[in-house]
Amino acid sequence: MAKEKDWWTSPTESENGRLIMVTGRRDVEKFRDNSRFNIRVEVTWKYNGDASGMPDVATSTLMSEVQDALEAVFEKDPVAVLTGIYTGDDERNWVFYTLSTHIFGRKLNEALSDFELLPITIYAENDADWAEYAEMKELSEITPGE
């Protein structure tokens, strides 16, 4: 039986004060300790949210299906690890760390091949220190009332 992934979720706010739900993964040490996983890739899906900036049910359902497809592809061939998901302020952002943008792109296309064209953009940069992950993980350490 595969080990269940360890995730946490915490609310935060965008720069303009809108709600963003942050979901982060804890069990990433084997990837973080591997110096080859030094490229951060962000896959962003902009949508027309409700008054609070959250997706409607149909969009949220499709996003869940896309996420399931992404996780399945990268679990089968772990060339990237999904470390964080930000939802709110009219966008969903999946954050991955990978060892190759070329291979990541091929696997992303494989994962999304059964879907109609999606409104996503992709951004990548070197992040050998996992700075984005460390910043996101600080949110999991906030206690109520702070």
- What the block records as the tokens of 143 is 């206690």
Residue 146 lies in a domain: no
Query: Residue 31: which domain range?
Result: 7-140
- pLDDT for 73-124, tens place per residue? 999 999 999 999 999 999 999 999 999 999 999 999 999 999 999 999 999 9
Total domains, the chain: 1
Q: Say whether pTM exceeds 0.95.
A: no
Residue 2 lies in a domain: no
Contact 118, 94 (CB under 8 A): no
Contact 31, 74 (CB under 8 A): no
- pLDDT for 38-76, tens place per residue? 999 999 999 999 989 999 999 999 999 999 999 999 999
Residue with tokens 């973080």: 32
List Cα–Cα distances, 107 to 7, 17, 54, 64, 93, in angstroms.
23, 35, 28, 18, 17
Query: Residue 45 sits in a domain of what CATH number?
Result: 3.30.70
Q: What is the spatial distance between Cα 87 and Cα 113, in angstroms, rounded to a whole number?
A: 23
